[in-house]
Amino acid sequence: MAGRLSRTKIRALLIGPAAAVIGIFVVIPLMLMAWISIQGRDYSGGVIWGELSGEAYLRMIFERELDDSLAVNFNYVLIILRSVWLSFLTTVISLLVGFPTALFMATRTPKWKAILVFMVTLPFWTNLLVRNYAWILLLRDHGAINGTLSWLGIISEPLPLLHTQLAVAIGLTYSFLPFMVLPIYASLEKMDLRLVESAFDLYATRLMTLRRIIIPLAVPGIVAGCILVFVPSLGAYVTPELLGGGKTLMIGNLIGLQFGAARNWPFGAALGILLLALVMISLTFYALKLKNTGGNTQ
Protein backbone atom coordinates (compact mmCIF):
# COMPACT_ATOMS: atom_id res chain seq x y z
CA MET A 1 0.00 0.00 0.00
CA ALA A 2 2.78 2.36 1.00
CA GLY A 3 4.74 1.32 -2.09
CA ARG A 4 1.79 2.09 -4.30
CA LEU A 5 1.32 5.53 -2.84
CA SER A 6 4.96 6.44 -3.22
CA ARG A 7 4.87 5.25 -6.83
CA THR A 8 2.03 7.68 -7.49
CA LYS A 9 4.05 10.42 -5.82
CA ILE A 10 7.11 9.55 -7.88
CA ARG A 11 5.02 9.71 -11.03
CA ALA A 12 3.68 13.11 -10.05
CA LEU A 13 7.19 14.34 -9.36
CA LEU A 14 8.48 13.00 -12.65
CA ILE A 15 5.65 14.42 -14.73
CA GLY A 16 5.63 17.67 -12.73
CA PRO A 17 8.51 19.56 -14.38
CA ALA A 18 7.35 18.77 -17.91
CA ALA A 19 3.77 19.70 -17.05
CA ALA A 20 4.99 22.95 -15.48
CA VAL A 21 7.01 23.87 -18.55
CA ILE A 22 4.10 23.19 -20.90
CA GLY A 23 1.72 25.01 -18.55
CA ILE A 24 3.87 28.12 -18.08
CA PHE A 25 5.16 28.46 -21.63
CA VAL A 26 2.26 27.13 -23.70
CA VAL A 27 -1.08 26.73 -21.98
CA ILE A 28 -1.18 29.92 -19.84
CA PRO A 29 -0.02 32.32 -22.60
CA LEU A 30 -2.49 30.78 -25.06
CA MET A 31 -5.37 31.00 -22.58
CA LEU A 32 -4.40 34.58 -21.89
CA MET A 33 -4.36 35.39 -25.60
CA ALA A 34 -7.73 33.73 -26.14
CA TRP A 35 -9.17 35.58 -23.13
CA ILE A 36 -7.84 38.96 -24.24
CA SER A 37 -9.33 38.44 -27.71
CA ILE A 38 -12.83 38.40 -26.23
CA GLN A 39 -12.37 41.33 -23.86
CA GLY A 40 -13.50 44.94 -24.31
CA ARG A 41 -10.98 47.31 -25.84
CA ASP A 42 -9.29 49.99 -23.74
CA TYR A 43 -8.53 52.82 -26.18
CA SER A 44 -5.43 53.84 -24.29
CA GLY A 45 -3.99 50.32 -24.74
CA GLY A 46 -4.71 47.10 -22.87
CA VAL A 47 -8.16 45.72 -22.24
CA ILE A 48 -11.12 46.27 -19.95
CA TRP A 49 -10.94 43.09 -17.94
CA GLY A 50 -14.23 41.34 -17.45
CA GLU A 51 -16.12 43.08 -20.26
CA LEU A 52 -16.88 40.30 -22.75
CA SER A 53 -16.96 41.33 -26.40
CA GLY A 54 -16.86 39.67 -29.83
CA GLU A 55 -15.89 42.95 -31.43
CA ALA A 56 -12.34 41.84 -32.25
CA TYR A 57 -13.53 38.90 -34.39
CA LEU A 58 -16.16 41.03 -36.15
CA ARG A 59 -13.45 43.51 -37.03
CA MET A 60 -11.67 40.99 -39.22
CA ILE A 61 -14.41 41.30 -41.85
CA PHE A 62 -16.59 44.24 -40.78
CA GLU A 63 -16.00 47.88 -40.02
CA ARG A 64 -18.19 49.78 -37.57
CA GLU A 65 -19.56 52.96 -39.13
CA LEU A 66 -20.16 56.13 -37.16
CA ASP A 67 -23.82 55.21 -36.73
CA ASP A 68 -22.77 51.87 -35.18
CA SER A 69 -23.85 49.84 -38.22
CA LEU A 70 -21.53 47.18 -39.67
CA ALA A 71 -20.00 47.60 -43.12
CA VAL A 72 -17.98 44.93 -44.89
CA ASN A 73 -14.26 45.70 -44.92
CA PHE A 74 -11.95 43.38 -46.82
CA ASN A 75 -8.69 45.18 -45.96
CA TYR A 76 -7.76 42.73 -43.22
CA VAL A 77 -8.89 39.71 -45.23
CA LEU A 78 -6.60 40.98 -47.97
CA ILE A 79 -3.64 41.07 -45.58
CA ILE A 80 -4.43 37.55 -44.38
CA LEU A 81 -4.73 36.28 -47.97
CA ARG A 82 -1.49 38.05 -48.88
CA SER A 83 0.23 36.38 -45.92
CA VAL A 84 -0.98 32.96 -47.03
CA TRP A 85 0.01 33.70 -50.65
CA LEU A 86 3.50 34.97 -49.74
CA SER A 87 4.05 32.02 -47.39
CA PHE A 88 2.94 29.65 -50.13
CA LEU A 89 5.25 31.35 -52.65
CA THR A 90 8.12 31.16 -50.15
CA THR A 91 7.44 27.47 -49.57
CA VAL A 92 7.39 26.71 -53.30
CA ILE A 93 10.63 28.64 -54.01
CA SER A 94 12.30 27.01 -50.98
CA LEU A 95 11.26 23.58 -52.22
CA LEU A 96 12.53 24.22 -55.75
CA VAL A 97 15.87 25.47 -54.42
CA GLY A 98 16.07 23.22 -51.37
CA PHE A 99 15.36 19.81 -52.89
CA PRO A 100 18.25 19.80 -55.39
CA THR A 101 20.50 21.20 -52.66
CA ALA A 102 19.51 18.44 -50.23
CA LEU A 103 19.89 15.79 -52.93
CA PHE A 104 23.36 17.08 -53.78
CA MET A 105 24.34 17.10 -50.09
CA ALA A 106 22.96 13.61 -49.42
CA THR A 107 25.00 12.05 -52.21
CA ARG A 108 28.42 13.40 -51.08
CA THR A 109 31.03 11.54 -49.04
CA PRO A 110 30.52 11.55 -45.24
CA LYS A 111 33.22 14.22 -44.79
CA TRP A 112 31.60 16.56 -47.31
CA LYS A 113 28.14 15.89 -45.86
CA ALA A 114 29.31 17.20 -42.47
CA ILE A 115 30.87 20.31 -44.05
CA LEU A 116 27.76 21.04 -46.16
CA VAL A 117 25.33 20.61 -43.24
CA PHE A 118 27.50 23.02 -41.27
CA MET A 119 27.42 25.52 -44.15
CA VAL A 120 23.61 25.31 -44.41
CA THR A 121 23.25 26.14 -40.72
CA LEU A 122 25.87 28.91 -40.87
CA PRO A 123 23.38 31.81 -41.48
CA PHE A 124 21.74 31.02 -38.11
CA TRP A 125 24.89 32.22 -36.43
CA THR A 126 24.11 35.85 -37.32
CA ASN A 127 21.09 37.90 -36.39
CA LEU A 128 17.97 37.66 -38.57
CA LEU A 129 17.65 41.45 -38.56
CA VAL A 130 21.20 41.91 -39.84
CA ARG A 131 20.67 39.33 -42.56
CA ASN A 132 17.50 41.11 -43.72
CA TYR A 133 19.34 44.45 -43.78
CA ALA A 134 21.90 42.78 -46.01
CA TRP A 135 19.10 42.06 -48.49
CA ILE A 136 18.14 45.76 -48.46
CA LEU A 137 21.68 46.52 -49.62
CA LEU A 138 21.33 43.98 -52.40
CA LEU A 139 17.83 44.91 -53.58
CA ARG A 140 17.65 48.70 -53.26
CA ASP A 141 17.67 51.02 -56.32
CA HIS A 142 21.42 51.56 -56.26
CA GLY A 143 22.20 48.25 -54.57
CA ALA A 144 24.36 45.38 -55.72
CA ILE A 145 21.82 43.82 -58.11
CA ASN A 146 20.62 46.99 -59.83
CA GLY A 147 24.20 48.34 -59.84
CA THR A 148 25.55 45.27 -61.61
CA LEU A 149 22.71 45.15 -64.13
CA SER A 150 23.05 48.83 -65.10
CA TRP A 151 26.86 48.51 -65.23
CA LEU A 152 26.39 45.64 -67.68
CA GLY A 153 24.03 47.88 -69.65
CA ILE A 154 21.10 45.48 -69.34
CA ILE A 155 18.91 48.11 -67.67
CA SER A 156 18.94 51.91 -67.80
CA GLU A 157 16.51 52.55 -64.93
CA PRO A 158 16.86 50.65 -61.65
CA LEU A 159 14.36 47.77 -61.31
CA PRO A 160 11.89 48.28 -58.47
CA LEU A 161 13.04 45.37 -56.33
CA LEU A 162 12.92 46.59 -52.75
CA HIS A 163 9.57 47.12 -50.99
CA THR A 164 7.73 44.66 -53.22
CA GLN A 165 6.04 41.33 -52.58
CA LEU A 166 8.90 39.70 -54.49
CA ALA A 167 11.41 41.24 -52.06
CA VAL A 168 9.44 39.82 -49.14
CA ALA A 169 9.25 36.38 -50.77
CA ILE A 170 13.01 36.44 -51.47
CA GLY A 171 13.76 37.50 -47.89
CA LEU A 172 11.50 34.84 -46.41
CA THR A 173 12.97 32.17 -48.68
CA TYR A 174 16.45 33.19 -47.64
CA SER A 175 15.50 33.17 -43.94
CA PHE A 176 13.75 29.80 -43.88
CA LEU A 177 15.55 27.83 -46.62
CA PRO A 178 17.60 25.79 -44.09
CA PHE A 179 14.32 24.53 -42.60
CA MET A 180 13.50 23.11 -46.03
CA VAL A 181 16.95 21.72 -46.81
CA LEU A 182 17.60 19.93 -43.53
CA PRO A 183 14.47 17.71 -43.26
CA ILE A 184 14.72 16.76 -46.96
CA TYR A 185 18.42 16.06 -46.48
CA ALA A 186 17.59 13.88 -43.47
CA SER A 187 15.12 11.76 -45.42
CA LEU A 188 17.37 11.49 -48.49
CA GLU A 189 20.44 10.76 -46.42
CA LYS A 190 18.92 7.66 -44.86
CA MET A 191 17.63 6.47 -48.22
CA ASP A 192 19.49 3.41 -49.45
CA LEU A 193 21.43 4.54 -52.52
CA ARG A 194 21.20 0.99 -53.82
CA LEU A 195 17.54 1.75 -54.52
CA VAL A 196 18.75 4.22 -57.13
CA GLU A 197 21.10 1.63 -58.61
CA SER A 198 18.27 -0.82 -58.52
CA ALA A 199 16.05 1.59 -60.49
CA PHE A 200 18.82 2.16 -63.06
CA ASP A 201 19.19 -1.59 -63.31
CA LEU A 202 15.46 -1.88 -64.05
CA TYR A 203 15.72 0.43 -67.06
CA ALA A 204 14.68 3.68 -65.32
CA THR A 205 16.39 6.79 -66.72
CA ARG A 206 17.74 9.44 -64.34
CA LEU A 207 14.56 11.52 -64.59
CA MET A 208 12.35 8.47 -64.02
CA THR A 209 14.44 7.42 -61.02
CA LEU A 210 13.98 10.89 -59.54
CA ARG A 211 10.22 10.83 -60.16
CA ARG A 212 9.41 7.26 -59.20
CA ILE A 213 11.96 6.49 -56.47
CA ILE A 214 13.79 9.47 -54.98
CA ILE A 215 10.95 11.99 -54.66
CA PRO A 216 8.37 9.50 -53.28
CA LEU A 217 10.87 8.37 -50.65
CA ALA A 218 11.64 11.97 -49.70
CA VAL A 219 7.95 12.84 -49.20
CA PRO A 220 8.08 12.85 -45.36
CA GLY A 221 11.06 15.23 -45.51
CA ILE A 222 9.41 17.39 -48.18
CA VAL A 223 6.18 17.69 -46.17
CA ALA A 224 8.09 18.45 -42.94
CA GLY A 225 10.20 21.05 -44.76
CA CYS A 226 7.13 22.69 -46.28
CA ILE A 227 5.48 22.96 -42.85
CA LEU A 228 8.65 24.31 -41.28
CA VAL A 229 8.90 27.01 -43.96
CA PHE A 230 5.19 27.79 -44.34
CA VAL A 231 4.38 28.16 -40.64
CA PRO A 232 7.06 30.69 -39.64
CA SER A 233 6.59 32.56 -42.96
CA LEU A 234 2.92 33.02 -42.11
CA GLY A 235 3.82 34.76 -38.86
CA ALA A 236 6.87 36.60 -40.20
CA TYR A 237 7.42 40.09 -38.81
CA VAL A 238 10.96 41.31 -39.47
CA THR A 239 11.21 40.46 -43.17
CA PRO A 240 7.97 42.09 -44.39
CA GLU A 241 8.72 45.06 -42.13
CA LEU A 242 12.17 45.66 -43.65
CA LEU A 243 11.91 44.34 -47.22
CA GLY A 244 8.21 45.15 -47.70
CA GLY A 245 8.81 48.67 -46.43
CA GLY A 246 5.51 48.85 -44.55
CA LYS A 247 3.60 48.59 -47.84
CA THR A 248 3.43 44.81 -47.89
CA LEU A 249 1.83 44.05 -44.53
CA MET A 250 1.55 40.44 -43.38
CA ILE A 251 -0.40 39.08 -40.40
CA GLY A 252 2.65 39.40 -38.18
CA ASN A 253 2.96 43.12 -38.90
CA LEU A 254 -0.76 43.64 -38.43
CA ILE A 255 -0.60 41.97 -35.01
CA GLY A 256 2.44 44.06 -34.08
CA LEU A 257 0.53 47.18 -35.10
CA GLN A 258 -2.46 46.31 -32.88
CA PHE A 259 -0.33 45.94 -29.77
CA GLY A 260 1.61 49.08 -30.71
CA ALA A 261 0.36 52.15 -32.51
CA ALA A 262 -3.27 51.02 -33.01
CA ARG A 263 -3.71 50.14 -29.32
CA ASN A 264 -6.23 47.42 -30.06
CA TRP A 265 -5.15 44.49 -27.93
CA PRO A 266 -8.30 42.36 -28.37
CA PHE A 267 -7.99 42.60 -32.18
CA GLY A 268 -4.27 41.73 -32.01
CA ALA A 269 -5.03 38.72 -29.83
CA ALA A 270 -7.87 37.65 -32.13
CA LEU A 271 -5.50 37.83 -35.12
CA GLY A 272 -3.05 35.70 -33.10
CA ILE A 273 -5.78 33.08 -32.60
CA LEU A 274 -6.52 33.20 -36.34
CA LEU A 275 -2.83 32.64 -37.11
CA LEU A 276 -2.82 29.70 -34.71
CA ALA A 277 -5.89 28.28 -36.47
CA LEU A 278 -4.18 28.57 -39.87
CA VAL A 279 -1.11 26.76 -38.49
CA MET A 280 -3.27 24.06 -36.96
CA ILE A 281 -4.99 23.50 -40.30
CA SER A 282 -1.68 23.07 -42.10
CA LEU A 283 -0.40 20.73 -39.38
CA THR A 284 -3.55 18.62 -39.65
CA PHE A 285 -2.94 18.45 -43.38
CA TYR A 286 0.61 17.28 -42.61
CA ALA A 287 -0.61 14.58 -40.24
CA LEU A 288 -3.12 13.29 -42.79
CA LYS A 289 -0.50 13.31 -45.53
CA LEU A 290 1.89 11.29 -43.36
CA LYS A 291 -0.85 8.77 -42.61
CA ASN A 292 -1.51 8.31 -46.32
CA THR A 293 2.15 7.71 -47.21
CA GLY A 294 2.56 5.24 -44.35
CA GLY A 295 4.73 7.74 -42.51
CA ASN A 296 8.08 6.09 -43.18
CA THR A 297 10.75 5.70 -45.80
CA GLN A 298 11.95 2.24 -44.94
Partner 1 sequence: MRDNTDNIAISVRGVSKIFDEGVNAFVALDNVSLDIGSNEFFTLLGPSGCGKTTLLRLIAGFEQPSQGQILLNGENLEQLPPFKRPVNTVFQNYALFPHMTIAQNIAFGLEMLGRPRQEINSTVDEMLELVQMKALADRRITQISGGQQQRVALARALAPKPKVLLLDEPLSALDLQLRKDMQIELKRLQLETGITFIFVTHDQEEALTMSDRIAVMQGGHILQIGSPRDIYEHPQHRFVAGFIGEINLLRATTGKATPEGLELRLGEMRGLEAKAKKQVSSGAKLTLAIRPERILLAGQDKEPLTGKLTNVVYHGTDTLYHFDLPDGQAMRARRQNSDKTGPEWKIGDTISWSAKPDSIAVLED
Question: Which residues of this protein are in contact with partner 1, per CB under 8 A?
Answer: 192, 194-195, 197-205, 208, 212-213, 216-217, 293-294, 296-298
Task: Give least dist CB 52 to partner 1, A.
Answer: 52
Nearer to partner 1, 51 or 192 (CB): 192
In whole angstroms, give the CA distance from residue 131 to residue 175. 8
Shortest gap between Cβ of 292 and partner 1 (angstroms)?
Answer: 11
Least Cβ distance, residue 209 to partner 1 (angstroms) = 8
Distances (CA, A) of 276 to 34, 82, 256, 282: 11, 16, 15, 10
Smallest gap from Cβ 115 to partner 1, in A, equals 20
Nearest to 34 by CA among 285, 266, 288: 266
β-sheet bridge partners, residue 64: 70
Backbone angles phi, psi at 49, to 5 degrees: -65, 135
Residue 94 or 209 with smaller CB distance to partner 1: 209
Q: What is the DSSP string of 60-119?
A: TTEEE-TTS-EEE--HHHHHHHHHHHHHHHHHHHHHHHHHHHHHHHHTS-HHHHHHHHHH
CB of 131 to partner 1, least distance (A): 37
- Would residue 264 be called left, alpha or beta, if left means φ above 0 and alpha means ψ between -120 and 50 degrees? beta
CA-CA distance, 270 to 165, in Å (whole number)? 25
**CB nearer to partner 1: pick between 142 and 194:** 194
